[in-house]
């Protein structure tokens, strides 16, 4: 559907800096006559871009056609330079500090529709901007409306020209918004040249935000009212009139406001980004409980976000600093900086020795530029974090605060990793003390054992144990058990169970009586969790065979693996010790011929899970049947490997395996 035109202007403009301002005046006149003032901001912006492109890049005269109807306006700019529009003009995103290059990007963003035509004589670019269909229809203005065609001398008129619609402000990059304000000042003054210079105060220096014409000899210079450390100025060149300075001051105020709003928005986004960064870094550090992995992780979290390189120096046993980790944005620079920072250890160590540096920045060694902070946690300084400055600038105050925060998090993570390592070492030593140092080596019988602690309890002592010893009467005693709980209490109960059974067995007490005395001993122990399940056996040699008296106290039955591969679950379950005043003990006799083996295990084997499926007893049989008749070591290893490979997850419970094999004389 077509609409009758309400206003039209057709102009031929020369290839000089005054043409964009003339084009803007024509657009303003047409929109005022057509009653389409709400389209003024976007139309002026796009007209300025296309007219400037025609004058600057084509270098020829341009034809301008502006036609408005009841619902919108169409603007066509034609130059006389042959050739088409480069694809890069339409798709490439210019640098933020570039003075141009956004013409077609802005047309595509703000125009309702647009297009191009070109031939041997030149090319045309047109765009159309329509009113919002939901808005009420405009009333056509009366003839004779006052639309300024030349320089504006009234501040009220300029203030109106400088009022940019909120929609345009929210969608337009601040650089383009500033350029639009300067273009409107150009309309008001008809100056020969103008420029806006801005220094954000972050060390990057001053740059030109927007300009037109030549400002080599400025006639008017106005400082922009910006909050320190930012600063800037507006310059106009040409034959200055009496109204230029107040007009320039008003424009400078509007530009400063736009820059301050953009700066606050950018600062808020940056602060939000740093908070997210610190939260994610803290989470990564908190989950790292291996000291060497934590040390390697710290500089990788910092580079390149906070500096070109980062290093961690740690104190050794003698208190001297050593370079423990280094990361650099350029891999080829690693060895060079490793040498620099290695020799800087003494200087950093001397700084740490000076009182008053806790939590504060340390002086950097000579020849190294950046930030250094002590790594202190729980009142102890464990090292130094050094961060090299970003490329081409120094760290901002905000970045230094982020480095300081990260140093605190890193120090705490390193200290936690050290504590975890110490606890794991103590748990390992205590766990080893609860296991026999060696298994008996006697003729006719061989032993093998495997133990795998649950990784979830790497810093605690498990409750599973096994034991085997030779008795004075040349008999053998073996036991495997599972004490309730984890940690120090479980370790104490495990020690009681193991020692009481050993003493009773060596004293010659019958196994039922030994288990009754153990039950009484556990009931006398303090605490609620002091019970255990045990499988124990006395072994007597009978020629080449072995006669075993087997007692099960709430424990899984062991598997009798015959040399020919036949299997049998043996023993009769009794009562776990430490639960009730009286225990039921049901001794059973089992005979092992040459090549036969008894396979004992704890519930960590059968209850090993892969999602919802348990390893179970049938898989125990399958795992050991293929090694029937082989050595005790082969049987124990085969069962452990089957249990480990059953699930990719770490064991949730301790796993203990004990194999007794009849070897014959």
| DSSP annotation string for 504-551 | HHHTT--HHHHHHHHHHHHHTSSSS---EEEEEEEEEEETTEEEEEEE
Residues 217 and 96 in one domain: no
Residues 250 and 238 in one domain: yes
Residues 441 and 333 in one domain: no
- Residue 2 falls inside a structural domain: no
What pLDDT is stored for residue 157 in this prediction? 55
Residues 166 and 271 in one domain: yes
- Residue 474 falls inside a structural domain: yes
Residues 194 and 94 in one domain: no
C-alpha Rg value of the chain to the nearest Å: 43
Cis-peptide, bond into residue 229, ω within 30° of zero: yes
Alpha-carbon gap, residue 361 to 374, rounded angstroms = 7
pLDDT tens readout for residues 575-630 = 999 889 989 999 999 999 999 999 999 999 999 998 889 999 999 999 999 999 99
Last residue of a domain, one of 402, 429, 456: 429
pLDDT tens readout for residues 523-568 = 887 766 678 999 999 999 888 999 999 999 999 999 999 999 999 9
Residues 484 and 625 in one domain: yes
Alpha-carbon gap, residue 460 to 596, rounded angstroms = 36
Determine the structural domain holding residue 364 and report its residue range.
290-429
Residues 461 and 422 in one domain: no
- Residue 282 falls inside a structural domain: yes
- Residue 102 falls inside a structural domain: yes
Which carries the bigger pLDDT value, residue 363 or residue 638? Answer: 638
CB 417 within 8 A of CB 291: yes
pTM: 0.56
CATH code of the domain in which 73 resides: 3.30.565.10
- Residue 109 falls inside a structural domain: yes
Alpha-carbon gap, residue 50 to 79, rounded angstroms = 10
Confidence of residue 139 (pLDDT cuts 50, 70, 90): low
pLDDT tens readout for residues 283-302 = 998 887 888 899 999 999 99
- % the chain with pLDDT above 90: 32
Q: Does the pLDDT value for residue 222 go beyond 90?
A: yes
Which carries the bigger pLDDT value, residue 171 or residue 262? Answer: 262
Nearest alpha carbon to residue 16 among 75, 78, 66, 58: 58
Last residue of a domain, one of 88, 114, 149: 149
Helix (H) or strand (E) holding 660: strand 655-662
- Residue 1 falls inside a structural domain: no
Tokens 């020969």, located at residue: 192
Residues 341 and 369 in one domain: yes
Confidence of residue 46 (pLDDT cuts 50, 70, 90): confident
Alpha-carbon gap, residue 557 to 553, rounded angstroms = 10
Residues 443 and 354 in one domain: no
Q: Does the pLDDT value for residue 102 go beyond 60?
A: no
* Structural domain count of the chain: 4
Which 3 state secondary structure label does DSSP give 275?
helix
CATH code of the domain in which 636 resides: 3.60.40.10
CATH code of the domain in which 298 resides: 3.30.450.40
Residue 506 DSSP label: H
CB 647 within 8 A of CB 619: no
Nearest alpha carbon to residue 43 among 18, 58, 64: 64
Which 3 state secondary structure label does DSSP give 117?
strand
What pLDDT is stored for residue 135 in this prediction? 61
Residues 634 and 569 in one domain: yes
Residues 520 and 627 in one domain: yes
pLDDT tens readout for residues 315-362 = 887 778 899 999 999 989 899 898 888 888 888 888 877 655 556 788
CB 622 within 8 A of CB 636: no
Q: Does the pLDDT value for residue 395 go beyond 60?
A: yes
- % the chain with pLDDT above 70: 86
Can you read off the two tokens belonging to residue 568?
């049998």
What pLDDT is stored for residue 554 in this prediction? 92
Last residue of a domain, one of 429, 457, 479: 429
Angle of helix 40-53 relative to helix 174-189, nearest 10 degrees, comes to 80
| Burial annotation 414-428 (CB, 10 A radius, 16+ → b, else e) | bbbbbebbeebeebe
Q: Does the pLDDT value for residue 186 go beyond 70?
A: yes
Check the CA dihedral 602-606-607-609 and report its sign: positive
Residues 90 and 158 in one domain: no
Which 3 state secondary structure label does DSSP give 196?
strand
Alpha-carbon gap, residue 20 to 410, rounded angstroms = 57
What pLDDT is stored for residue 89 in this prediction? 42
- Residue 459 falls inside a structural domain: yes
Phi, psi values for residue 159, rounded to 5° = -60, -40
Can you read off the two tokens belonging to residue 426?
């103590």
- Residue 562 falls inside a structural domain: yes
Q: How many residues does the chain have?
A: 665
What pLDDT is stored for residue 159 in this prediction? 59
């Amino acid at each position: 559907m077509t609409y009758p035109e309400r206003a039209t202007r057709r102009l031929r403009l020369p290839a000089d800096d005054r043409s964009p301002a003339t084009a803007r005046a024509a657009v303003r006149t047409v929109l005022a006559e057509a009653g389409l003032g709400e389209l003024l901001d976007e139309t002026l912006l796009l007209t300025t871009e296309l007219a400037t492109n025609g004058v600057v890049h084509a270098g020829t005269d341009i034809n301008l056609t502006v036609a408005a109807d009841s619902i919108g306006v169409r603007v066509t700019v034609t130059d006389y330079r042959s050739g088409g529009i480069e694809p890069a003009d339409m798709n490439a995103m210019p640098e933020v500090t570039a003075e141009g290059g956004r013409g077609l990007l802005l047309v595509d963003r703000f125009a309702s529709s647009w297009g191009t035509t070109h031939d041997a004589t030149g090319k045309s670019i047109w765009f159309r901007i329509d009113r919002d269909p939901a808005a009420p229809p405009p009333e056509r203005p009366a003839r004779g409306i006052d639309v300024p065609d030349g320089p504006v001398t009234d501040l009220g008129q300029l203030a109106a020209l400088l009022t940019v619609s909120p929609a345009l402000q929210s969608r337009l990059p601040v650089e383009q918004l500033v350029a639009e304000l300067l273009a409107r000042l150009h309309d008001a003054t008809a100056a020969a040249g103008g420029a806006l210079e801005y220094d954000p105060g972050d060390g990057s220096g001053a740059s030109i935000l927007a300009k037109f014409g030549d400002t080599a000899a400025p006639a008017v210079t106005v400082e922009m009212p910006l909050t320190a450390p930012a600063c800037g100025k507006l310059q106009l060149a040409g034959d200055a009139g009496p109204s230029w300075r107040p007009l320039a001051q008003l424009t400078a105020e509007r530009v400063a406001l736009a820059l301050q709003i953009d700066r606050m928005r950018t600062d808020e986004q940056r602060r939000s980004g740093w908070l997210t960064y610190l939260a994610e870094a803290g989470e990564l550090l908190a989950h790292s409980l291996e000291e060497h992995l934590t040390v390697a992780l710290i500089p990788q979290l910092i580079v390149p976000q906070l500096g070109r390189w980062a290093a961690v120096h740690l104190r050794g046993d003698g208190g001297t600093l050593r370079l423990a980790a280094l990361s650099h944005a350029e891999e080829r620079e690693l060895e060079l900086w490793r040498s620099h920072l290695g020799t800087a250890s003494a200087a950093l160590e001397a700084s740490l020795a000076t009182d008053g540096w806790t939590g504060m920045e340390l002086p950097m060694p000579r020849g190294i530029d950046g930030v250094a902070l002590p790594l202190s946690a729980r009142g102890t300084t464990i090292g130094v974090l050094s961060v090299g400055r970003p490329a081409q600038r120094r760290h901002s105050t905000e970045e230094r605060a982020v480095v300081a925060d990260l140093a605190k998090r890193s120090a705490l993570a390193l200290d936690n990793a050290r504590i975890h390592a110490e606890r794991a070492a103590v748990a390992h030593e205590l766990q080893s003390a609860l296991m026999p140092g060696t298994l008996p080596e006697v003729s006719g019988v061989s032993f093998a054992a495997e133990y795998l602690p649950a990784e979830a309890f790497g810093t605690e002592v498990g409750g599973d144990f096994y034991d085997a010893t030779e008795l004075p009467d040349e008999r053998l005693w073996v036991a495997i058990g599972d004490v309730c709980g984890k940690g120090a209490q479980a370790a104490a109960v495990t020690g009681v169970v193991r020692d009481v059974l050993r003493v009773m067995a060596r004293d010659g007490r019958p196994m039922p009586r030994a288990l009754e005395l153990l039950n009484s001993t556990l009931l006398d122990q303090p605490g609620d969790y002091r019970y255990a399940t045990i499988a124990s056996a006395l072994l007597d040699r009978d020629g080449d065979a072995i006669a075993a008296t087997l007692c099960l106290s709430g424990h899984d039955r062991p598997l009798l693996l015959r040399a020919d591969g036949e299997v049998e679950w043996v023993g009769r379950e009794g009562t776990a010790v430490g639960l009730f005043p009286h225990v039921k003990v049901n001794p059973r006799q089992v005979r092992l011929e040459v090549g036969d083996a008894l396979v004992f295990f704890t519930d960590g084997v059968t209850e090993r899970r892969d999602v919802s499926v348990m390893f179970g007893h049938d898989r125990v049989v399958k795992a050991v049947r293929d090694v029937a008749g082989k050595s005790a070591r082969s049987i124990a290893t085969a069962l452990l490997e089957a249990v480990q490979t059953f699930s990719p997850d770490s064991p949730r419970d301790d796993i203990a395996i004990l194999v007794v094999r009849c070897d014959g004389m």
